Amino acid sequence: MHVNTPLMKWLACGALALTALTLGGCATKQVLPQEAAPATDYLIGPGDNLSIVVWRNPEVSQGVPVRPDGKITTPLVEDLQASGKTSTELARDIEKALSKFIQQPVVTVIVTGFVGVYSEQIKVIGQAARPQALPYRRDMSLLDVMIAVGGVTDFAAGNRAILLRTVDGKQQKLTVRLNDLIKDGDISANLPMRPGDVLVVPESYF
């Protein structure tokens, strides 16, 4: 049997080229980036209660609430912006303000009552047992939210609930299965929460 040598060489080269392209495609396959974890440092918000301790100066150490306008007033320091800052950032700002009256003040700020900034609160509306706004906490999950609001009412369509989330300035709608999670114990229906999420629990048609 006569074998066409040039043809065989051409076929062999083609097979090698196809193999190289296939392997190259596997080697350069892109992995979709995972969603970046939100910032975990707690931001002070209106309604929070703060304990301000000035080392060796008990007369200017006290507990103060954060006013609705996001500011606080302490001895020697008036109308200082607190909302939107971490406790460490606020402590440094208080030190700077007190340095006019106290030599090298050392300040510690402790958040004793948590509300959080409004833009980062988790809001639950609709047919939840206790609709409310919750302060976002690190590693908070959908199940944590359901426990905090007492689950859903008998009139809720839990598996038609919607999670509204803003990512890069654009709103996303995620369908969540609350009935599967809290009634059937399906942990695969649990989701990580993000600051500013809004959970909408609709009413059942029946």
d(Cα 189, Cα 178) in Å, to the nearest integer?
7
d(Cα 93, Cα 81) in Å, to the nearest integer?
9
33 in a structural domain: no
136 and 195 share one domain:
yes
The amino acid at 160: R
CATH number, domain at 129?
A: 3.10.560.10
Lowest-confidence range among 7-11, 48-52, 76-80, 100-104?
7-11
Q: What is the pLDDT of residues 168-201, one digit of tens each?
A: 999 999 999 999 999 999 999 999 999 999 999 9
Structure tokens at 196: 């500013």
126 and 142 share one domain:
yes
139 and 176 share one domain:
yes
Average pLDDT, integer, range 56-82: 96
Pairing mode, if any, of strands 170-176 and 161-167? antiparallel
> pLDDT category, 65, cuts 50, 70, 90?
very high
Residue with tokens 């008990």: 58
29 in a structural domain: no
Structural domain harbouring 196? 121-201
CATH number, domain at 92?
A: 3.30.1950.10
182 in a structural domain: yes
109 and 177 share one domain:
no
90 and 107 share one domain:
yes
